[in-house]
Structure 1
Amino acid sequence: MSSTETDPPVSSEPDGTDPVSTPLLSAERVGVAFSAGFAPGGTSGTARAVDGVDLHVGRGEIIALVGESGCGKTTLARVLLGLERPTEGRVVFEGDALGYRSRDLKRYRRRVQLVQQDPTGSLNPRRSVYESVAEGLRVHRGTTVDEAERVGEALARAGLRPADRFFARYPHELSGGQRQRVVIAGALVLEPEILVADEPVASLDASVRGEILRLLLELRQELGLSALVATHDLGLAWNIADRVAVMYLGRVVELGSVEEVLSEPAHPYTRALLSVLPDAASEEGPVVLSGEPPDPKRVPGGCRFHPRCPILASGEAERAGVAERCRTEDPLILPGGDERRVACHWAAADAEGRLPAAGP
């Protein structure tokens, strides 16, 4: 669990930043909008894949970014990697705003590395394990005399030992777990400070998932690595994360420590996601949300979750006196930081001030 106090505003100037209190990586009011052709009625549509996200990742911290498919997790991860440029807001690394010139991005990507979801698709079948791991080293630092040593160290840290036995192998000769370890080694060879992992175990067998999650925790302990792990699996978040950010339709709707969010979920959406886990089953059973997530070109007015909200449908929001606000008033964007926060009118009223409401 991170012990950092609530994060102060981050300055983009190198002078005056505090390396202890300044988050390692931040999204500040990040928005990403895509042109989506023509919407009904003949008007041009704009899909807001990410719609104002504040999120900080501290040094040595693991944050789980959870939500349904299509909620914006992958797009936000791409923005944090510098693969996608935000249409609003900015990415800040060590107190400095990310630049998008080629040399700026090249320098940045040595320190912030991606771990992809599908190890089979991300590894070139015609390249040996050695070539796959060494590729990043050659791109970013040129061929060096200690290349074999660096590749061997990365493979060993990723749990492939003795490393030299894997140098000449090809992806088809490895198991799924071994391929994912090669992908992780390819990120580690550059000695990054943070990993951004997009569904890192989704394609793996259940017997292997725990090994990869344990590896990520070991890397944090041994190397001080930070990580942002995008996943739809709250069970994964429980096992690996310090903090959890729950996304819905491009927004973070609940944020807090893993114990706070998963033991006492405040947002109805988080409760619904958690209710389907076997260990979290209640007498009421799983919460079944009605319908599909709305089209990001047509975000509902008021709280964007209200058309599917079981609290509103059951009358609980009406009894709490917030039903009209749910339908008409958009909860403010949650600020980043370590403090527990929820973007929900009903949760704020139900907590009677114990939870900070949305807003600064």
Structure 2
Amino acid sequence: MTASPTATPGPTGPPGPSELSRSPVSPPLLSARGVRVSFPGRHGAGPARAVDGVDLAIRPGEIVALVGESGCGKTTLARALLGLVEPTAGHVSFDGRPLDYSGRSLKAYRRRVQLVLQDPSGSLNPRHTVYDAVAEGPRIHGYGGDERAAVAEALSRAGLRPPERFFLRYPHELSGGQRQRVVIAGALVLEPELLVADEPVASLDASVRGEILALLLRLRAELGLSALVVTHDLGLAWNIADRVAVMYLGRIVETGTVEQVLTAPRHPYTQALLSVLPEAPGDPVVLSGEPPDPTRVPGGCRFRTRCQLLLGGEADRAGVADACRTRDPEILDGGGREGEEGGRGTVGQVACHWAHAREAPGPSGPSVPPLRA
């Protein structure tokens, strides 16, 4: 299956992700290893496995898109990476050191890793001016420099120029795009190394989305910022990301460079997500039912209850139907281990028995033909 996602308007101006990609063997800036986050179940049910074993790495200057449908665990994983939720198991490391969940350490960590929320109207206090909204971070963290100059520089970097013109404005006096730029300025004022952006353009008009994406790319080019962009919009991932991680029911099921994952998807879930884009060839793949309850994750492959290949007999013909029903695919490393030679993080990975069987070498190539040309 081949598709060129175009659901989100593409940014113009700064170089694209492929032109700015960093060395595939550079040590991760932020990494998660075996992260699990569970919440107590209701009415006697077992724990809800919101994040159920995730490895993920983000390198300096790299933009990673975390993609999946609502409820798959994307935001919970992002909160765990930010230190807002302590993992039930596994660990998060930043700059080679495990995250310390003591108050002082978390405060220092959050100066280096900043969150950009989905809804700027909900992120900004309606009673605070733009100046106070951006200055809140430096005041909390005890910034010792010139506060006014720092706020002005952050607003200018976020594209609000001249910055002084916005100092005394309130959120209701700004457009949606301007409010999102204020939120981004509030993150930039602390000079972070990594941004975690949770659906950063979901609440904006289509005409403004490309401007915000172009801003994020420009910040990466000018400041060397890394970013984790949480989204359900594959078009956004295509336009901004170096690498994509596709998440389903608490686990990453496919990862690789944006070109690998979005032009030649290997997991049937990724194929289904891409099939509904306007320019995707063939008929859309309509998945049956809803994602399973995270308190009752099915045995075997967690996608098997909705998998179009298992339900349609393709997995039987490939000889992997029993494996799909009984064997849980391994956890993907999510971007390569530290110190690995050869840049394993650049190699696409998939947690799918059918994909592995299809790609297994044989006398005449893959054992199963591709779904579509």
| TM-score, length of structure 1 as denominator length | 0.91
Q: Secondary structure at 1:108's aligned position in 2?
A: helix
CA–CA distance in 2 between the matches of 1:129 and 1:303? 48
Note if 1:111 corresponds to 2:112: yes
- Whether the 8 Å contact between 2:67 and 2:233 is mirrored in structure 1 is yes
Q: Residue 180 of structure 1 aligns with which residue? A: 180
- Whether the 8 Å contact between 2:22 and 2:62 is mirrored in structure 1 is no
Note if 1:22 corresponds to 2:27: yes
Cα shift readout 1:128-158 (whole Å, capped 9, x = no counterpart): 000000000110124x451000000000000
Note if 1:96 corresponds to 2:115: no
The one-letter code of the counterpart of 2:306 is R
Alignment of 1:125-140 (within 5 A): 125-140=126-141
- Whether the 8 Å contact between 2:246 and 2:254 is mirrored in structure 1 is yes
Note if 1:31 corresponds to 2:29: no
- Whether the 8 Å contact between 2:62 and 2:227 is mirrored in structure 1 is yes
- Residue of structure 1 aligned with 2:328, choices 330, 337, 348: 330
CA–CA distance in 1 between the matches of 2:90 and 2:126? 38
Alignment of 1:57-72 (within 5 A): 57-72=58-73
Q: Residue 305 of structure 1 aligns with which residue? A: 303
The one-letter code of the counterpart of 2:297 is V
Displacement after TM superposition at 1:215 (Å):
0.4
- Whether the 8 Å contact between 2:134 and 2:185 is mirrored in structure 1 is yes
Q: Secondary structure at 1:27's aligned position in 2?
A: strand
Q: Residue 268 of structure 2 aligns with which residue? A: 268
Q: Residue 18 of structure 1 aligns with which residue? A: none
Cα shift readout 1:185-233 (whole Å, capped 9, x = no counterpart): 0000000000000000000111111110110000000000000000001
Q: Secondary structure at 1:79's aligned position in 2?
A: helix
Q: Secondary structure at 1:279's aligned position in 2?
A: coil
- Whether the 8 Å contact between 2:254 and 2:350 is mirrored in structure 1 is yes
Cα shift readout 1:72-108 (whole Å, capped 9, x = no counterpart): 0000000111111000100000110000111100000
CA–CA distance in 2 between the matches of 1:85 and 1:344? 29
CA–CA distance in 1 between the matches of 2:324 and 2:67? 22
Cα shift readout 1:16-70 (whole Å, capped 9, x = no counterpart): xxxxx320000111000000222xxxx4421000000000000000000000000
The one-letter code of the counterpart of 2:284 is P
- Residue of structure 2 aligned with 1:341, choices 346, 349, 362: 349
Q: Residue 220 of structure 1 aligns with which residue? A: 220
Alignment of 1:236-251 (within 5 A): 236-251=236-251
CA–CA distance in 2 between the matches of 1:286 and 1:77? 30
Gap runs ≥5 in structure 1: 7-20, 356-360
Q: Residue 17 of structure 1 aligns with which residue? A: none
Q: Residue 360 of structure 2 aligns with which residue? A: 352
- Residue of structure 1 aligned with 2:316, choices 318, 325, 343: 318
The one-letter code of the counterpart of 1:199 is E
Q: Residue 4 of structure 1 aligns with which residue? A: 23
Alignment of 1:285-296 (within 5 A): 285-296=283-294
- Whether the 8 Å contact between 2:289 and 2:306 is mirrored in structure 1 is yes
CA–CA distance in 2 between the matches of 1:26 and 1:89? 11
Cα shift readout 1:233-274 (whole Å, capped 9, x = no counterpart): 111000000000000000000000000000000000000001
CA–CA distance in 2 between the matches of 1:303 and 1:145? 53
CA–CA distance in 2 between the matches of 1:240 and 1:205? 18
Displacement after TM superposition at 1:345 (Å):
0.2
- Whether the 8 Å contact between 2:33 and 2:55 is mirrored in structure 1 is yes
Displacement after TM superposition at 1:313 (Å):
1.1
Q: Secondary structure at 1:334's aligned position in 2?
A: coil
The one-letter code of the counterpart of 1:351 is E
Distance 1:3 1:185, change over 3 A: closer
Note if 1:73 corresponds to 2:78: no
The one-letter code of the counterpart of 1:81 is L
- Whether the 8 Å contact between 2:29 and 2:96 is mirrored in structure 1 is yes
Q: Residue 252 of structure 2 aligns with which residue? A: 252
Alignment of 1:38-49 (within 5 A): 38=43, 43-49=44-50
Q: Residue 14 of structure 1 aligns with which residue? A: none
Distance 1:197 1:137, change over 3 A: same
CA–CA distance in 1 between the matches of 2:145 and 2:323? 64
Note if 1:169 corresponds to 2:134: no
Q: Bigger relative contact order, structure 1 or 2, given CA contacts below 8 A and separation 6+?
A: 2
Displacement after TM superposition at 1:4 (Å):
3.2
CA–CA distance in 2 between the matches of 1:200 and 1:31? 25
The one-letter code of the counterpart of 1:49 is A
CA–CA distance in 2 between the matches of 1:122 and 1:45? 33
